[in-house]
């Protein structure tokens, strides 16, 4: 199984090389889904040629923020053509956890030959016995899927992903034409949202309040006040400040001051206080 990674800047990708053969290529999609650096088709073709010479037929392709824009993964899949069985990261998970998505994609690509062989054995057995009944797999969610469809991701899913991403990019490009008060109501300083989340696997209930700083010059910043509990006698409370990379200097200073204020000993009501400052590339916990 061959792995092609499009990690972009940040996390060291050498810890994510789970393929029998691995290639880290240029190209980068940022966390908003914007293509910052396009991939080099000549570089991809060289990698595919090397994989082919080594007998690789199953390929895992994963970009860090492909769930926001799968274009680069799909481009590599098209270049691979019918010579490889390609598994793309965005088709398996919508979560931002890049390392986990790499492992999941590699696992799927690595088990593909076994799955293909298993299906062929079933088909041969049916043919030998003259059985012409449709063969379906029972999935873990209780649904069924024909054996042949289990080998490929339907094209309409990929097309729908591309349409969705294109629509989101259009919304972003037209952001200055949107009347925010019409969408969110009268915003004074913060847009506020409250969520109640139950994690059934661990039996944890979380009460979360998000506040987004409204600013006409930048994306503002995000404040999160969260209380998670397994029972009324055991709870944990955290406060988090998240500062985007493109925040203006005024909002950046304001958010940093809020973080410092919350860490003051007199405000000792949180178990953990976090700061994620993408503008300064800094992460703090107190």
Q: What is the mean pLDDT of each run of 10 residues along the chain (286 residues)?
A: 91 86 93 90 94 92 91 93 88 80 86 83 90 82 76 55 74 80 75 84 85 90 92 82 94 95 82 93 91
Write down which residue in 167, 191, 209 finishes a domain.
167
156 and 14, same domain (yes or no): yes
85-88 and 21-24 as β-strands: parallel, antiparallel, unpaired? Answer: unpaired
Q: Considering the domain boundaries, does residue 138 fall inside one?
A: yes
Length of the chain: 286
Cβ pair 242, 276 in contact under 8 A? yes
Give the per-residue pLDDT at 258. 95
Q: Are residues 48 and 151 in the same domain?
A: yes
Q: What pLDDT score does 154 carry?
A: 47
Total structural domains within the chain? 2
Closest to 4 (Cα-Cα) out of 114, 221, 197, 16:
16
Q: 196 with 257, same domain?
A: yes
Last residue of a domain, one of 110, 132, 167: 167
Closest CA to 162 of 230, 225, 88: 88
CB 91 within 8 A of CB 157: yes
User: Do 84 and 206 share a domain, yes or no?
Assistant: no
Q: Which of 167, 201, 231 is the last residue of a domain?
A: 167
Same domain, 87 and 123: yes
Residue 213 lies in a domain: yes
Q: Residue 73 and residue 161: Cα distance in Å, rounded?
A: 12
Domain boundaries, position 149: 2-167
Is 148 within a domain?
A: yes
Asked if residue 174 belongs to a domain, the reply is no
In a domain, 11, yes or no: yes
Residue 105 CA to residue 83 CA, distance in Å, equals: 18
| CB distance 29 to 8 below 8 Å | yes
On whether both 75 and 202 belong to a single domain, the answer is no
**Are residue 195 and residue 254 in the same domain, yes or no?**
yes
Residue 176 lies in a domain: no
Does a structural domain hold residue 27?
yes
Is residue 172 situated within a structural domain? no
Rounded to an integer, what is the distance from CA 75 to the centroid of its chain? Answer: 18
Considering the domain architecture, whether residues 25 and 161 belong to the same structural domain is answered as yes
Mark whether 8 and 110 lie in a shared domain: yes
Residues 122, 192 share a domain: no
Beta-ladder partners of 224: 210, 240
Q: Are residues 210 and 156 in the same domain?
A: no
Assess whether 210 and 94 both reside in one domain: no
pTM: predicted TM-score of the whole model, two decimal places: 0.49
């Amino acid at each position: 199984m061959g792995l092609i990674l499009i990690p972009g800047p940040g996390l060291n990708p050498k810890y994510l090389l789970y393929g029998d053969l691995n290639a880290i290529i240029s190209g980068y999609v940022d966390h908003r889904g914007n293509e910052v650096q396009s991939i080099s088709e000549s570089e991809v073709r060289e990698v595919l040629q090397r994989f082919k010479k080594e007998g690789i037929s199953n390929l895992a392709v994963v970009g860090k923020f492909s769930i926001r824009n799968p274009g680069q993964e799909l481009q590599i899949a098209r270049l691979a053509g019918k010579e490889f069985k390609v598994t793309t990261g965005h088709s398996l998970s919508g979560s931002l956890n890049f390392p986990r998505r790499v492992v999941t994609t590699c696992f799927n690509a690595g088990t593909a030959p076994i799955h293909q062989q298993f299906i062929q054995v079933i088909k041969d057995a049916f043919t030998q016995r003259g059985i012409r009944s449709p063969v379906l797999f029972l999935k873990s969610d209780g649904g069924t899927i024909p054996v042949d469809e289990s080998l490929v991701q339907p094209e309409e899913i990929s097309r729908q992903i591309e349409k969705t991403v294109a629509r989101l990019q259009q919304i972003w490009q037209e952001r200055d034409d949107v009347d925010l008060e019409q969408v969110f109501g009268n915003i004074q300083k913060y847009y506020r949202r409250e969520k109640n989340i139950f994690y059934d696997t661990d039996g944890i209930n979380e009460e979360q309040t998000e506040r987004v700083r409204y600013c006409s010059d930048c994306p503002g910043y995000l404040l999160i006040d969260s209380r998670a509990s397994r029972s009324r006698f055991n709870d944990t409370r955290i406060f988090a400040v998240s500062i985007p990379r493109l925040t203006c200097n005024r909002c950046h200073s304001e958010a940093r001051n809020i973080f410092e204020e919350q860490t003051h000993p007199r405000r000792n009501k949180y178990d953990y206080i976090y700061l994620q400052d993408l503008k300064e590339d800094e992460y703090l916990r107190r």
